[in-house]
Amino acid sequence: MKLTGNVLEIRDLVKDFPSVRAVNNVSFDIKRNTVHCLVGENGAGKSTLIKILTGAYARSSGKILLNGEEYSPHSPKNAKEKGISTLFQELNVVDQLTVAENLTLGMEDTTFGFLRKTDKINKMVSVMNSLEPSISPRQLVSTLSVAKKQIVEIAKAVATESDIIIMDEPTAAISESEIARLFKIVKGLREKNVTVIYISHRLDEIFELGDYVTVMRDGKHIDTKPVSEIQDRSELIRMMIGKTVFEVYTPKKDRSQETILQVRNLSNHKLNGISFEVKKGEIVGFYGLVGAGKTELARAIYGADDYEGEILFKGEKLHPSPHKVIEAGIALVPEERRSQGLFTILTIRGNVPVMNMGKISRNGFINSSQERKVTLEYIEKLRIATSSTEKEVIKLSGGNQQKVVFSKCLFADADLLMLDEPTRGIDVGAKSEIYGIIRRLSEEGKSILIFSSELPEIMNICDSIYLLYDGNLKAALQNGYDIDSEKIIHIVTGGE
């Protein structure tokens, strides 16, 4: 029996963090048995909203009604019990078990502990079969491709009668034919009394799959419309970026002609034949959305991941190891500052000199006063908000933590800095400080590579902009007064 009405109603939802209001009085409805898309740029508030729905975050205020009843999950497990399942990019299947075992995990029928084959299992297997018959229930999940693992998760959610399945960028890691199959399944879910909340940056998917779309921007709800009422991509893009006034970019006066970095035909599991050049003192931006390959590119150049192809830095071949790359004069501010960029249990002083210990030591012995001096220097230079060099980094705010990472990399005396999402999760004040630092470095002759999914950031300071989509370099632009932000979004969302 097909039910109608709203499966989810969100009213005046607010989520505050210490330095930012991530979700700002958002209200909209999701109709039952539809595919409801959620779009918006990074920082728009989508992921925070989803985290509230899945019980990972608690809301600050506002109401959510699921099937007409108050919905306040206190944990992801709780959310699942209440009827909202989520497909994350980190798959929640147990590789070492079979498909059938994964489907029934946590819901087995037993007699004295013995697993019984009951109708419940058959029902689940038939749900699985109706979605994708080529998956055998007796297969080990480890033998399945990522796309098929996703389908297993979907089957489990459907079979456990979830009202809503949230899919977060599900197509980021699967091939085109697999995408087609996924779409067929998603569309079919509407007949099974399941509503899908579909998050994706690939606007074509919205048009192909979606019944409704909600656009968010800067934490606010912009609009919710039936997809059929949207004329074309441009309208959607305009809703996404609105009247954002990009700080006017000032082209540089003298541009060096000296090439410092040459990347030729860089390829690996994610990247396809990327080639480009960087001049001395240039600020180059790599813009793309989730899954475009930005981090993979940064890590490949840095030597943190394997690749095929050639990279020349200052005319010499770059060896694929972070140690050698740093020695050659390149430093990376990694994407995840807490797990990759910082030693969180150590102090600021413990973090800053790490990439260039030679400068604060002699014959292997650390000069403590030099160490303190350097730490102090960077605290002042970058205006890190702390009262002591001995503050544990974990106690700093996101912005200040990022400044510590910057200090680390600056201290490495690199000639080329790679910044992966340098201002993610950082408040506006710290952001502009960081932009100032970047501009200053460029003036000093350093080259900067910025990998970011925030368009204003890219437009603000980059001299050249490269657009990435699905591991490919799609376009190269010179920044200037007449840059067309709509065209940019068009390309990074899959357009040509």
Contact 27, 11 (CB under 8 A): yes
CB count within 10 Å of CB 107 equals 12
Phi-psi domain of 123 (left: phi exceeds 0; alpha: psi -120 through 50; beta: other): alpha
Residue 368 binding another protein, by CB under 8 A: yes
Give the type of residue at 15: K
Q: What is d(CA 382, CA 341) in angstroms, rounded to the nearest whole number?
A: 17
Q: What is d(CA 277, CA 261) in angstroms, rounded to the nearest whole number?
A: 6
Residue 387 binding another protein, by CB under 8 A: yes
Q: What is d(CA 1, CA 191) in angstroms, rounded to the nearest whole number?
A: 9
Beta-strand (E) ranges in 152-269? 164-168, 195-199, 212-217, 220-226, 259-267
Least spacing, CB of residue 78 vs another protein, in Å: 10
Cβ-based nearer residue to another protein, 244 or 388: 388
Q: Quick one: which segment of 11-19, 20-28, 259-267, 318-326 binds another protein (CB under 8 A)?
A: 318-326
Q: Which of 115, 142, 139 is nearest to 128 (CA)?
A: 139
Strand partners, 87: 167
Q: What is d(CA 322, CA 325) in angstroms, rounded to the nearest whole number?
A: 5
List, in order, residues 6 or more apart from 1 with CB less than 8 Å away: none
Residue 481 binding another protein, by CB under 8 A: no
Residue 76 binding another protein, by CB under 8 A: yes
Least spacing, CB of residue 314 vs another protein, in Å: 18
Residue 432 binding another protein, by CB under 8 A: no
Q: Quick one: which segment of 141-149, 211-219, 268-276, 488-496 binds another protein (CB under 8 A)?
A: 141-149
Cβ-based nearer residue to another protein, 33 or 400: 400
Cβ-based nearer residue to another protein, 59 or 408: 408
Phi-psi domain of 74 (left: phi exceeds 0; alpha: psi -120 through 50; beta: other): alpha
Residue 93 binding another protein, by CB under 8 A: yes
When binding is defined by CB under 8 A, the residue of 77, 138, 269, 317 that contacts another protein is 77
Q: What is d(CA 4, CA 321) in angstroms, rounded to the nearest whole number?
A: 57
When binding is defined by CB under 8 A, the residue of 61, 89, 126, 143 that contacts another protein is 143
Residue 412 binding another protein, by CB under 8 A: yes
Least spacing, CB of residue 351 vs another protein, in Å: 9
Cβ-based nearer residue to another protein, 275 or 321: 321
When binding is defined by CB under 8 A, the residue of 25, 344, 370, 397 that contacts another protein is 344
Q: What is d(CA 169, CA 198) in angstroms, rounded to the nearest whole number?
A: 8
* Widest CA span in the chain: 80
Encoded one letter per residue, x for contact with another protein by CB under 8 A and - for no contact, window 95-124 reads: xxx---x---xxxx-x--xxx---------
Query: Which residues contact another protein (rule: CB under 8 A)?
Result: 76-77, 80-81, 92-97, 101, 105-108, 110, 113-115, 142-143, 145, 175-177, 302, 304, 321-323, 325-327, 332, 334, 339-347, 350, 354-355, 357-358, 361, 364-366, 368, 372, 375-376, 379-380, 386-390, 408, 412, 436
